[in-house]
Amino acid sequence: MLRICKYLSRSEIGQLLIGLVFIVGQIWFDLKLPDYMSDITRLVETPGSNMHDIWVAGGKMLLISLGSVLCAIATGYVAARVGASFSQRLRSLEFRKVESFGPAEMSRFSTASLITRSTNDITQIQMFVTMGLLLLVKSPIMAVWAICKIAGKGVDWTIATAVAVGVLLVIIGALMTMVVPKFRSMQRLTDNINLVARENLTGLRVVRAYNAEDYQQTKYDEANKELSDTYLFTNRAMSVMMPLINTVMNGLMLAIYWIGAYLINSAGIQDKLTLFSNMVVFSSYSVQVIMSFLLMSMVFVLLPRADASADRILEVLDTDPMVADGAKNAAGAADAVTTATAAAPKGTVEFENVSFAYPDSREAMLEGITFSANPGQTVAFIGSTGSGKSSLVNLVPRFYDATEGQVLVDGVDVRNYTLKALRDKIGYVPQQSVLFKGTVASNIRYGDRPQDSADVELVDTSSIQGRRREAELMKYANDVQDLGDEQQVHKAAEVAQADEFIETMDGTYDAAIAQGGSNVSGGQKQRLSIARAVYRHPEILIFDDSFSALDFKTDRAVRDELAKEAKDSTKLIVAQRIGTIMDADRIVVLDDGKVVGQGTHRELLENCSVYREIAESQLSPDELAA
């Protein structure tokens, strides 16, 4: 838990120190009350006491109580403010870190787990900062201060208090031993229930198609029961704590009065009043000692979950992406990029003896891949399922890094680029089309923004100025997003053959797109994804099996438009259909991660058996002969 405190800002640390002053003030007021109680008791028991003195002492008690209340309010305000700003920063930092993750890191953390870490886990941290951190400071200070106050006021009473404290420690220790492991497992179980719920929601059509509602319900009930049972166990265990602490506290009070009655009965007439006054003061201070341990027990309830949550958050924040900016890894990388790009044509892609293995795999997915693609060329990749086609094109935008060899863009190793500079050159259309909640136009011009607004600085949102600056940046980014050229959006849609269905939608280019594009078909999603890539006018266009959901006519029309609109761009196409790639300038045939043939469609039919088998399985003899 201490490690995550390094993310507290100076402003928050200062506010916590101010809160500490208020805590000390509250403790001083609380421990001052018994002194006035002792004065009032002495005045009441002393014959001939003036009523005015009793009223004065009572008035001082009221002022002390009011001071304690004001300090408590100030402490709560400061703690709530720090907890809210700290959790806001952690959420932003975690989101930004996840944004830097590649596929390798995402395979380590499940999506459901990352969502839980950015919501439930950070809420646990916020609760601890708001309540537990202050209690953790308050309880030991109060206990030590109260013990110092009662020191020397009676050996018998002190022994009784020590015995009560010992019993409390045993009770709290036993309970914590039972529940702490359960507290730590709660976050994992929350991940699990989120995972099951997310699977059910995202796969709703498959669930309905296979009448698997009962199966999904059973899975959810099992995950829900496991989490509920853990909650019930911890709550039942902790519910025993308060009655036990109250029993110990009432037993201590009884012991103090019993010992006091015995001492008063045995004392002389002159000492009876002093002993009675001391007994009243001691009973008040002993309650404060017990209350300190009660507060500490509340900390022990909050701390295990907060500590487990902090570890899970730090696990994300401390994860360094395997793919990082080249300019941060190699001295002079920026100069190398500038020099090489000045010499090489823009859009050149070269693979030089590239091999690649996934981080969790012992066997290479790609071995000894060598080819080049020049600006204006279309290079296609074909092969059987699992031959490494998608893995190959994913090395260009550095979703992964090659384990051997070099991938060059514009004559520069991609590892020497900053990720932003490299990916600004690329328009990427993935296998599974992804659309975002918004409109048709916002999805086509997704990510379009000027260079100077791309890297938004981190702002300290704990201050008013920081929050105002963050709001200005967000407004600027939104304004920029709306500046996309409408004509370019329409042109990109035309190239992707998406304009025909966009015009039929209610609102056309302003028509709403649901989260994940659930309100459009698979083919429509693919065409919008293609339009999004074309809209950027990139140097390199990568189509990772992006034409599979298109019919042959639309497929042909899209490729014809691409040949005209993106004639200067390098096009890398992964495809399963021969018809999609037979007009490519070069076709690279992959088999078991190795290049087994390169050339045009006609050349490969003559000299590559793997390609010929694929072609014969898809094309008729007349089409092959054409």
DSSP string, 557-590: HHHHHHHHHTTTSEEEEE-S-HHHHTT-SEEEEE
CA-based angle 343:344:349, to the nearest 5? Answer: 160
- Model confidence at 397, pLDDT cuts 50, 70, 90, reads very high
Judge whether residue 455 has pLDDT over 50.
no
pLDDT above 50: residue 403? yes
What's the average model confidence in pLDDT over 165-170?
84
CA angle 38, 39, 44 (to 5 degrees): 100
Reported as a single tens digit per residue, the pLDDT across 211-235 is 888 889 999 999 999 989 988 888 8
**CATH second-level architecture of 2-317?**
Up-down Bundle (1.20)
DSSP annotation of 121: I
Q: What are the tens digits of pLDDT across the range 317-361?
A: 988 888 888 754 444 444 545 554 445 678 899 999 999 998 877
**pLDDT number for residue 259:** 84
Question: Is the pLDDT reported for residue 53 higher than 80?
Answer: no
Same fold, 2-317 and 326-425+538-625: no
pTM passes above 0.85: no
Indicate the pairing of strand 366-373 with strand 378-383: unpaired
Work out the pLDDT band at 438, boundaries 50, 70, 90.
confident
Burial class (CB in 10 A: 0-12, 13-18, 19+), 494: middle
Q: Give 574's strand partners.
A: 381, 544
Q: What mean pLDDT comes out for the span 58-63? A: 84
Q: What residues does each domain of the chain span?
A: 2-317, 326-425+538-625
pLDDT band at 461 (very low <50, low <70, confident <90, very high): very low
Does domain 326-425+538-625 fall under CATH 3.40.50.300? My reply is yes
Position 483 scores a pLDDT of 45
Non-local (6+) Cβ contacts of 156 within 8 A are 259, 263
Q: 450 is written with which tokens?
A: 């000027």
C-alpha triplet 566, 570, 573: angle, nearest 5°: 95
Q: What is the pLDDT of residue 48?
A: 65
3-state secondary structure 216-272: HHHHHHHHHHHHHHHHHHHHHHHHCHHHHHHHHHHHHHHHHHHHHHHHHHHCCHHHH
pLDDT band at 38 (very low <50, low <70, confident <90, very high): low
> How deeply is 185 buried, as exposed, middle or buried, from its count of CB atoms within 10 A (0-12, 13-18, 19+)?
middle
> What is d(CA 225, CA 337) in angstroms, rounded to the nearest whole number?
57
Orientation of helix 241-266 relative to helix 269-317, angle to 10°: 160
> Between 344 and 556, whose confidence is greater?
556
What band does 484 get if pLDDT is binned at 50, 70 and 90? very low
Q: Which residue has the higher pLDDT, 58 or 397?
A: 397
List pLDDT tens digits, range 288-311: 787 787 777 777 777 877 888 888
Residue 572 confidence (pLDDT) above 90: yes
